[in-house]
Structure 1
Amino acid sequence: MTSIVRHPKNFWIGLIFLCFGLAAIYLIGDNEMGSAGRMGPGYFPTVLGGLLALVGLGGIIRSFIGTRSEAHDAIGTFHIKDIAIILGAVILFGILMRGAGLPVAAFVLVLLSSFASKQFKLGSSLLLAVGLALFAVLLFVKLLGLPMPIIGPWLGGM
């Protein structure tokens, strides 16, 4: 049986983007929009949600146009273990950020996330984690001056 959807990946990604964009707009609720010159709390999320919905709509439209390419556009397997590892790493980052500080949280995030890859190698992952943790501290704390703890209270910092 043939389908009118010529590119299933574009269709499903477009549908996900469209749903997330519309959900963002809906969840903003009654927050004040303001104007482009004086933005209210609802302005940026609404604009971002609208743009995301437009990108999703474009993906859905593209999925019906063009030549059929099932061999190159088949949807692969759903890697639930890898998704769980990365989601867990992001949640752990949020927990460690306040308690242990930015370098530890970034190090753990990168190391655990790289474990989800089929090409995982401990040596290169450790180098990447150390490098990105140092880069995060340099960029966010030193250059941008964001109030992120370098050493958290769990490790004796403030």
Structure 2
Amino acid sequence: MNIKSQRDFFAGVLFCAFGVAFAWGATTYTVGTGARMGPGYFPMIVGVLIAIMGVAITLKALVVETEDGEPVGKIAWRPLIFIIGANLLFGLLLGGLPSIGLPPMGLIVAIYALTFVASLAGERFNAKATAILATILAVGSYLAFVVALKLQFPVWPTFIA
């Protein structure tokens, strides 16, 4: 069989791989039944659905004709590095890293850092727009997680609070 859309084919294969891995990981928990669901039931169903969606996308890539074969382009390293780095920085700042003496910096600082680093992934950087977005995200996260859900985690750096 001939691949008619490389992008869809590889996307479908990745969906299948992640879905199977997710479902397989869910088997380490008690799955239960539809009537008495265990903690692994929902992740198992989500993993299976993602894998099924991956199979459908892969089959579509093998059947539906495209004009140029939709080749996979080169990897966009800049966005990849900045987005992953922003998420790692968020986790590091939120919880701190005691092994190197970094105290938890809290939710607000972590969200500002996440927003500014992730915004560097694009082609254009606008500091004013990024600051406005970071403020909206910080206030919204504070209201949702601390006020509404009453989750207990540091909001401000430990040396301030």
TM-score (norm 1): 0.85
Query: Given the alignment, which residue of 109, 113, 117 partners 1:108?
Result: 113
- Tell me, yes or no, if the aligned pair for 2:86 and 2:114 is still in contact at 8 Å: yes
For the 8 Å contact 1:14–1:56, the answer to whether it is kept is yes
Shift of 1:48: 1.4
Distance of aligned partners of 1:24 and 1:156 in 2 relative to their CA distance in 1, 3 Å threshold: same
Matching residue of 1:132: 137
Gaps of 5+ in 1: none
Gaps of 5+ in 2: 96-103
96-105 or 141-150, which moves further after superposition? 141-150
The aligned length equals 153
RMSD: 1.9
TM-score, normalised on structure 2?
0.84
Point out the more displaced range, 36-45 or 95-104: 36-45
Q: Deviations over 1:2-56 (max 9, x none)?
A: x811121111111111001111122334421123444322212211111111111
Distance 2:160 2:53 in 1: 46
Find the aligned partners of 1:79 and 1:19 in 2 and give their Cα distance.
Answer: 21
Report runs of 4+ in structure 1 exceeding 3 Å deviation.
Answer: none
1-structure distance, mates of 2:66, 2:143: 48
Q: Is the Cα contact below 8 Å between 2:109 and 2:157 reproduced in 1?
A: no
The 5-angstrom pairing of residues 1-158 of structure 1 reads 4-70=2-68, 73-98=70-95, 99-153=104-158, 155-157=159-161
Identity of aligned residues (%): 29
